[in-house]
Amino acid sequence: MTPELNLSRDPAHLRHGSTIGQPLSRIDGLAKVTGRARYAADNNPSGMLYAVLAVSSIARGRVVSLDVDAAKAHPGVVAVMTSANRPPLQADPDGKPNPFAFRFEALQNDRVRYANQPIAVVIAESLEAATEGAALLAPRYQAEPARIGLDTGEAYVPPVVGMGFPAESHHGDAAAALAGSDKRITATYETPAHYHNAMEPHAIVAEWQGDRLIIDTPTQGLVMMRARLAELFGIAPENILIRSPYLGGGFGGKGLMAGAQVLGILAAKLVDRPVKLVARREQLYGPFGHRSPTRQTLKLGANAAGQLSAIHHHARIATSSFEDFYEAAAHVTHTLYAAPAISTTYDAVRMDTGTPLFVRAPGIAPGSIALESAVDEMAEACGLDPLAFRVKNYAEVEPATGKPFSSKALRDCYTQGAERFGWWERPLKPRTMRDKDGFLVGWGMGTATFHALMFAGQARAVIRRNGSGVVESGAHDMGQGAWTAFAQIAADALALDLDQVTFKAGTSDLPDAGIAGGSAHTATVGTAIHNAGAAVITKLAELATSDQRSPLFGAGNAGVIARNGRLLRRDDEGRGESYAEILARAGLDEVEGSGAGMPDPAANEHYAMHSHGAVFAEVKVDPDLGQVRVTRMIGAFAAGRIINPKLVRSQLIGGMIWGVSLALHEEAIIDHRSGRIMNANLGEYHVPVNADIPAIETFTVNEHDPFVNPLGIKGVGEIGITGSAGAVANAVAHATGIRVRRFPVRISDLVPPVS
């Protein structure tokens, strides 16, 4: 008897009264809007002190002196932690026990490796005293020239990119195919460094109780962080409790443990009192990761009919001087367009910045804006409509591997999106559309794509004697709605109504939910919950079908279905009994089952798994002044089963806004001499404001995927950015006839010289 029998083959969502698929509002929404939701920094254990980071203003060199005495003399300052007195760690912060353990700064020496690196921590009775103490440290440095920019130092081929992909890959002979192509284009695109800029800064409240450690901190990976901390502090993982019920945005920036979190824990150890450490906004531009700048060169070849013959996508990226993380910007080209020859190559430089990290749609976001721009440039060279060109080069199988797709309803996205947008009215020639006021109008589109990943995660499900259920998994709600979506899956998994199920998440003592990232959390944890529910129902069914007193006796597990808190005979639904009745008769308080979610190696071997979408954008551009406004956006997405359409819509819209941001707004301005980020605040680091965003329409097309996981979930957290950024860039080019290849597009790119 397999646990899936009851549910997977008879999908839970088809059950009458299913909770999956309902556009429920967030169950934590009210707590959030009324301020009752307690984020990490809202915790104030008694006796708590405040810790403030002192950070470096140089990007490379040594700290020569710190005026610790002055800081300590300030009233309220309890301690100053520097490399001279910080408590020991049991593992080297510069060690590399596993690929997910990034090297970090925990005051291990006097080296400065990037601007805004922590160089001391001041701990005081009040935030003000700690802040003042940090200012009084007045560090002096021995500075060395900072290495900044994509042309700094010697470029090298990185060992791997992204999460272990080869830095060079060839499918067919792209160089030869390019040489033999009727049409060729070569274009170079640049994207700047991006910072996560979550509303909630990184924060930690740490308390030692003997050798037990209690932490409140936002994290996208509870158990992974716990393991890393256990190693660093030499204590058993069970002795660490991390609470992270809500994140005020993560975007990858809270995916891995950050050094500053360790500093908060060390500070608590040093003073033997609970300590709160919250990074200031400008301090977030350094030790907490960012997206590497990229310079991408695309070479495309096509035959006279507009069939792609080759794509070579090369990306120059940057990492820090001391750690390796390589934005896999070229990899999007492996999956999207059907070219017989595809090459992707990388080279990299080391810069004196913090280590780059996953930022929402890592690799794919900057890769997609370059690829979608280049594809439009090629369509134009072929005299073809951009959508017609994409359809002509539609990949029926994954181009770089030849694998079939587990599902791919991209054609429906193209067709339905184009129809709703009115795409086919679009004139081929750029700079031909004007609105009634004379503004240039441009229409652009882009294909969205994101891999449908799964990590490994676990869940536990319990049916209690009163018939209600409890489902637990150490899952993470970053604001995406995990509390709600998982509760919906849990309700269906137990065949109960939502209000009969208690869902627990957000702490490290619950079953390991893996990492909330890669758009894989719903698929991973959802599958675990689904399987845990199936396991517990199976146990109930065993109890009933083997008990002569049960109306289900002899039905066999496969002959039983679960519905509304009851088990029913499949061949006679009039015969059944409630969970409560089964447990009462068996004299049990509860039954428990566990389930796991993890990728199926066989399915991954045979199928390429990706979400897809098509984004259409309209922009208006002032012909004389170069100011751009996005006036319309429609996104059509194929992302497998939709657990909660309302949450999905929010994710897609949020992603599309990130796309607008990538194309038109976002840029960390790094001074090439000092290595300091000159716009490290939300006033000057532009992201779109309401006036920049039109009413965005999104919808999902039907897509049934029997291979990704039992629930058919593909993930929607990141795909919205991809396609959208390119659509906006292409719309700007269509409006103006000017192809901007350095992002974000700025007024200076579009303002015409005066005739």
3-state percent breakdown (helix, strand, coil) of the chain, nearest 5: 30, 25, 45
Residue 29: strand, helix, or coil: helix
Q: What is the DSSP string of 121-170?
A: EEEESSHHHHHHHHHHT--EEEE-----STTSS--B--SEETTTEESEEE
Nearest to 224 by CA among 179, 266, 258, 257: 257
Q: Which is nearer to another protein, 304 or 691 (CB)?
A: 691
As a whole number of angstroms, the distance between CA 719 and CA 698 comes to 12
Residue 280 CB, nearest approach to another protein (Å):
9
CB 552 within 8 Å of CB 494: no
Residue 77 CB, nearest approach to another protein (Å):
14
Contacts with another protein, residue ranges (CB under 8 A): 57-58, 131-132, 135, 434, 437-439, 620, 622-627, 629, 664-665, 669, 671-674, 676, 678-679, 684, 686, 688-692, 746-748, 751-755
Q: What is the DSSP string of 476-502?
A: --SSS-HHHHHHHHHHHHTT--GGGEE
Residue 351 CB, nearest approach to another protein (Å):
16
Q: Which is nearer to another protein, 582 or 617 (CB)?
A: 617
As a whole number of angstroms, the distance between CA 370 and CA 223 comes to 36
| Spatial CB neighbours of 613, under 8 Å, sequence gap ≥ 6 | 410, 413, 417, 447, 448, 449, 635, 636, 637, 638, 639, 719, 720, 722, 723
Residue 480: both structure tokens together: 């995406």
Phi-psi region of 249 (alpha: psi -120 to 50; beta: other; left: phi over 0): left
Residue 421 CB, nearest approach to another protein (Å):
21
Q: Which is nearer to another protein, 71 or 177 (CB)?
A: 71
As a whole number of angstroms, the distance between CA 194 and CA 210 comes to 41
With the CA atoms of 344, 349, 355 and 356 taken in that order, what torsion angle do they form, in degrees rounded to the nearest 10?
-30
| Spatial CB neighbours of 266, under 8 Å, sequence gap ≥ 6 | 81, 86, 87, 89, 106, 107, 121
Q: Which is nearer to another protein, 65 or 209 (CB)?
A: 65
Q: Which is nearer to another protein, 119 or 501 (CB)?
A: 119
Q: In DSSP terms, which residues pair with 670 in a beta bridge?
A: 677
Residue 752 CB, nearest approach to another protein (Å):
7
Q: Which is nearer to another protein, 420 or 673 (CB)?
A: 673
For the sheet with 590-597, list strands across it: 501-504, 469-472, 457-464, 590-597
- Angstrom CA distances, 744 to 307, 334, 732, stand at 30, 25, 11
The rounded Cα 540 to chain-centroid distance in angstroms is 38
Residue 666 CB, nearest approach to another protein (Å):
10
Residue 406: both structure tokens together: 């587990």
Q: Which is nearer to another protein, 135 or 588 (CB)?
A: 135
Asked if 718 is an active-site residue, the reply is yes
- Output b/e per residue, 175-198; b: 16+ Cβ within 10 A: eebbeebebbbebebebbbbbbbb
Q: What is the DSSP string of 59-101?
A: SSEEEEE--HHHHHHSTTEEEEE-TTTPPP-SS-TT--SSTT-
Is 427 exposed, middle or buried, given 0-12, 13-18 or 19+ CB atoms closer than 10 A? exposed
Residue 404: strand, helix, or coil: strand
At residue 630, φ and ψ (nearest 5 deg) are -80, 125
Q: Which is nearer to another protein, 158 or 293 (CB)?
A: 293
Residue 616 CB, nearest approach to another protein (Å):
20
Q: Which is nearer to another protein, 30 or 747 (CB)?
A: 747
Residue 74 CB, nearest approach to another protein (Å):
11
Catalytic residue among 200, 327, 380, 718: 718
Q: In DSSP terms, which residues pair with 713 in a beta bridge?
A: 640
Residue 193 CB, nearest approach to another protein (Å):
13
In this structure, are strands 308-320 and 341-351 parallel, antiparallel, or unpaired? parallel
Token pair 């005979």 in the structure block, residue: 569
As a whole number of angstroms, the distance between CA 91 and CA 606 comes to 41
Residue 592: strand, helix, or coil: strand
Residue 197 CB, nearest approach to another protein (Å):
15
Q: Which is nearer to another protein, 53 or 374 (CB)?
A: 53
Residue 754 CB, nearest approach to another protein (Å):
4
Q: In DSSP terms, which residues pair with 170 in a beta bridge?
A: 343
Q: In DSSP terms, which residues pair with 615 in a beta bridge?
A: 446, 635
Residue 22 CB, nearest approach to another protein (Å):
36
As a whole number of angstroms, the distance between CA 174 and CA 311 comes to 6
Q: Which is nearer to another protein, 638 or 660 (CB)?
A: 660
Residue 567 CB, nearest approach to another protein (Å):
57
| Spatial CB neighbours of 460, under 8 Å, sequence gap ≥ 6 | 471, 472, 473, 510, 511, 532, 592, 593, 594
As a whole number of angstroms, the distance between CA 538 and CA 543 comes to 9
Q: Which is nearer to another protein, 398 or 622 (CB)?
A: 622
Q: In DSSP terms, which residues pair with 142 in a beta bridge?
A: 62
Q: Which is nearer to another protein, 521 or 665 (CB)?
A: 665
Active-site residue list: 718
